């Protein structure tokens, strides 16, 4: 556990906690990470909206994000309760850690998409400028 990578450390620590107070620090760190990610992803989605649509569509993007957050907060605990009762806490947390580590690299695909959308937007703008 001494590699210093926060994701790996938290992925190893959280499944092995034996009491609720031991979850405070790891979940605080995870919350900071989620907050930073949320800000950057919403900014990226807003820039996609600016590229694809000529009018402002921030309200739609933020509304969809808020709906997803509400769904996560309502469905997450229900799923967790069923999962913990069937598989146990360590297995549930280990599975959640593995799923997060597996899908995290796919977020890197957003950067080339942003570049491609920017090029498409530039072409569209040049066509409209010619007319």
> pLDDT tens digit string along 54-84?
666 777 778 888 898 889 889 988 998 999 9
Q: Is residue 111 part of a domain?
A: yes
In which residue ranges of the chain is pLDDT below 70? 1-7, 51-56, 114, 120-121, 123-125, 127-131
**pLDDT at res. 88:** 93
**pLDDT at res. 58:** 72
Residue range of the domain that includes 85: 6-130
* Residues found in the chain: 131
How many independent structural domains does the chain possess?
1
**pLDDT at res. 1:** 46
Give this prediction's pTM.
0.48
Contact 23, 14 (CB under 8 A): yes
Q: Is residue 82 part of a domain?
A: yes
What is the number of other CB atoms lying within 10 angstroms of the CB of residue 115?
A: 10
């Amino acid at each position: 556990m001494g590699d210093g990578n926060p994701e790996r450390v938290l992925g190893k620590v959280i499944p092995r906690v034996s009491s609720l107070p031991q979850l405070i620090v790891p979940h605080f760190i995870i919350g900071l990470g989620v907050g930073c990610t949320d800000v950057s992803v919403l900014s990226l989605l807003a820039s996609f909206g600016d590229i694809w649509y000529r009018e402002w569509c921030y309200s739609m993007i933020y509304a969809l994000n808020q709906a997803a957050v509400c769904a996560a907060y309502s469905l997450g605990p229900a799923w967790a309760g069923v999962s913990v009762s069937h598989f146990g806490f360590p297995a549930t947390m280990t599975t959640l850690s593995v799923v997060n580590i597996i899908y995290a690299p796919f977020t890197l695909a957003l950067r080339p998409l942003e570049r491609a959308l920017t090029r498409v937007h530039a072409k569209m703008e040049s066509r409209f400028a010619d007319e």
